Amino acid sequence: MYIIVGLGNPGSEYEITRHNAGFMAVDYLAKKNGIKINKLKHKALVGEGKIAGENVMLAKPLTYMNLSGRSVKDIFEQNCADLEKLIIIYDDMDLDLGKIRIRVKGSSGTHNGMKSIIYQLQTEDFPRIRIGIGACPEGIDAVDYVLSPFSAEEQKIIGEVVKKIAEAVETIIMDGIPAAMNKYN
C-alpha cells in the first residue's frame, strides 16, 4: 500500500495558506480518485482507495505542522513496511511559486514538518514532493509568510500545481520515482 501524506495545519484559518499546500494536493488527489478523507486515525484524517490500480492511503496529519512526524510514524508503522511507498507532499520556500521537485530522499531543509518526520522515522530515505511557494519577502518573518494565505492569482497557480502533483503521484505508482523525476522536475 502506498501512503501519501500531505502536510499542513488543521483548521479553517489555515485552509488556503502557503503551509497547507500539501493538504491541498492530497485533497485534489482524493477528489480526482473518488477517495473520501473522512476517517480519524493515526492522529490524521485519512482515506483509502486506489490510484493507478494500487491501494493507497491518503493522509492529512492533524498534529499541526511541527509535530507531523508523530502522525506519520504511526501511519507508517501500522500500514506500510516499505519506505519507498511513503510519499510526503509539502510546501517549500526554496522553490519558486508553482515549481515541483520530486526526490527519492533528502534532508528536511528548513521545513519543520519534515524535521519532525525525519526525527520520528529516524531516516531521510523516503520519497517527497516539494511544492514551491516562493521565497519569503525581505522584512517578513518566515512563520508569518508560510501562514499567510495565497493571493487569488497564487491560488490559481497552486490549483494547476496540484493537478500536476496528482499526475506525478500516478507516475510514481505506475513507473517509479525516477520516471516521475524526469517528467516533473
**Which of 91, 33, 81 lies closest to 58 in space, CA to CA?**
33
Annotated active-site residue 111? The verdict is: no
Q: Output the pLDDT for position 110.
A: 81
pLDDT band with cut points at 50, 70 and 90 for residue 71: very high
* 25 to 79, 122, 138, 185: CA distances (angstroms): 21, 25, 27, 16
Tell whether the model's pLDDT for residue 109 goes beyond 90: no
Quickly tell me which residue has 501519501 as its cell.
4
CB of 131 closer than 8 Å to CB of 100? yes
Task: Compute the mean pLDDT over every residue in the chain, rounded to the nearest whole number.
Answer: 95
Q: State the pLDDT at residue 43.
A: 95
40-67 pLDDT, tens per residue? 999 999 999 999 999 999 999 999 999 9
Average pLDDT of span 56-83? 93
pLDDT band at 93 (very low <50, low <70, confident <90, very high): very high
Average pLDDT over residues 132-152: 95
Domains defined for the chain, CATH in brackets: 2-184 (3.40.50.1470)
- Residue 9 above 90 pLDDT? yes
With CA atoms as reference, report the closest residue to 2 among 79, 117, 113.
Answer: 79
pLDDT at 80 over 80: no
Backbone angles phi, psi at 7, to 5 degrees: -95, 145
Distance of alpha carbon 174 from alpha carbon 56, whole angstroms: 13
Residues 155 and 114 sit within 8 Å (Cβ to Cβ): no
pLDDT tens-digit series, residues 156-184:
999 999 999 999 999 999 999 999 999 99
Average pLDDT (20-37) is 98
Pick the catalytic residue: 6, 18, 19, 44?
19
Give pTM, 2 decimals: 0.96
User: Is residue 166 within 8 Å of residue 158, measured between CB atoms?
Assistant: no
Q: Are the C-beta atoms of 126 and 83 separated by less than 8 Å?
A: yes
Chain-centroid distance of CA 112 in Å reads: 13
Confidence of residue 108 (pLDDT cuts 50, 70, 90): confident
Average pLDDT for 106-116: 90
pLDDT above 80 for 13: yes
What is the per-residue pLDDT for 107?
87
Is 80 exceeded by the pLDDT of residue 81? no
When pLDDT is averaged across residues 28-49 and rounded to a whole number, the result is 97
